[in-house]
Amino acid sequence: MTDTLLSRRNLLLSLACTLGCSRPALVQPLSLIQSPPLSMRINIGTLAPRGSSFHQAMLRMAEQWKAQGVRLVVYPDGAQGSEADMVRLMRVGTLQAGLLTAVGLTDIEPAIAGLQSYPLLFRSFDELEFVIGKLRPMLAQRLAAKGFVVLFWTDAGWIRYFFKDPVTTPDQFKHVKTFVWSGATEQYKLLRELGYDPVQMETADILQGLATGQITGVSVPSIFALVSQFEKRVPHMLDLDWAPLVGACVIRKDNWDRLSETQRDALQGSADVAAAEIRARNRSESDQAVVRMQAGGLIVHKLTPAERAAWQAAAEQIYPRIRGRLVPADMHDEVMRLLQVYRAGNSA
């Protein structure tokens, strides 16, 4: 039941198939722009597959960056390794940028776990955007202290749970063998303490684990489930929006600071457009994916008000145990405060 507790690391896979966007509008045709000599090369790593809509969007953004004398080289398909690998490569300068989920971002700044580690916390994307908007200056400052600049924040729609057999109550969930990344030791321990049955394995082994029965439940964005044909292995989806898949594009601060103010403004503008379109595209595709999987045999389990309340109550009992363990205490307290402010209709 604890989506991001149970899937903190398998989100690595979901980014590869969910972060796509449409062609961004250009301020003026590229043919009319006189490009200056290329003065900097930026290598950016991503798990997104080659040829995917996200990869294509990044290539189009690279054309816009070229107009400012910056060569953006995109490495898709996880060619540079896992998100943890990409963070290490950025730190040593082999990569200068990356699009990461909250999993990879947390390897840079632990506070970012506060955006991804709570099941059933955010009730809408409006709540998420409000919280991120208020936290952006603080997170930007902390990331800058670690040597990174955020070009944009985004999300890839809701994460949902898929099971081999029907699951509609928290008690039933305790009998599910749920994927947990092999390196998520603290997450694994917490789940065991709570009476769940996590199974540690590498993200690349999820499909094989589902095929062999080593795991019987997995939480991912629905678009990833569609691409991976999960409805054939885990054909029961719980109709709950567990958590949004949060991500961000970051660049090494020393590279960013070498650019002129004019260059930075232009590059940031194209990044902002890409971010907005990524969000819109993925949220729409997330819902469409469920409909397509239903046509292929997926069964969506709607919950009664009593069942939904039981899941919410079980989730809320876990929040205090996440504080200071998976999420730094100060970040936990601020996220909860901001949600109270939003729900009260006030401004922070």
Look at residue 342 in the predicted model and tell me its pLDDT: 97
Name the percent of the chain in helix, strand, coil, to the closest 5.
50, 20, 30
H helical segments located in the chain: 3-7, 11-18, 53-66, 83-92, 102-108, 125-145, 170-173, 185-193, 206-212, 222-227, 253-258, 261-295, 305-322, 329-343
Cα→Cα distances 65→1, 71, 252, Å: 43, 7, 16
Look at residue 347 in the predicted model and tell me its pLDDT: 55
Look at residue 320 in the predicted model and tell me its pLDDT: 95
Cα separation, 153 vs 79, whole angstroms: 23
Q: Count CB-CB contacts under 10 A for residue 210.
A: 21
Identify the helix (H) or strand (E) that includes residue 178. Answer: strand 177-181
What's the pTM value of the predicted model, to 2 decimals? 0.85
Instruction: Give me the tens of pLDDT residue by residue for the chain, a chain 348 residues long.
Output: 544 444 444 444 444 343 333 333 333 333 334 455 678 999 999 877 677 667 777 888 888 999 999 999 999 888 998 888 999 999 999 999 999 988 889 999 999 999 989 999 999 999 999 999 999 999 999 999 999 999 999 887 899 999 999 999 999 999 999 998 776 778 888 889 999 999 988 777 888 999 999 999 999 888 888 888 899 999 999 999 999 989 899 999 999 999 999 999 999 999 998 888 788 787 888 888 999 999 999 999 999 999 999 999 999 999 999 999 999 999 999 999 999 999 998 655
Place of tokens 């840079």: 108
Domain 3-343 is of which CATH architecture? 3-Layer(aba) Sandwich (3.40)
Look at residue 1 in the predicted model and tell me its pLDDT: 53
Q: Count CB-CB contacts under 10 A for residue 59.
A: 13
Task: Evaluate whether 112 touches 102 at the Cβ level (below 8 Å).
Answer: yes
Phi, psi of 220 (to 5 degrees): -150, 165
Look at residue 28 in the predicted model and tell me its pLDDT: 39
φ/ψ bin of 29: left (φ > 0), alpha (ψ from -120 to 50), beta (otherwise): beta
Residue ranges per domain, the chain? 3-343
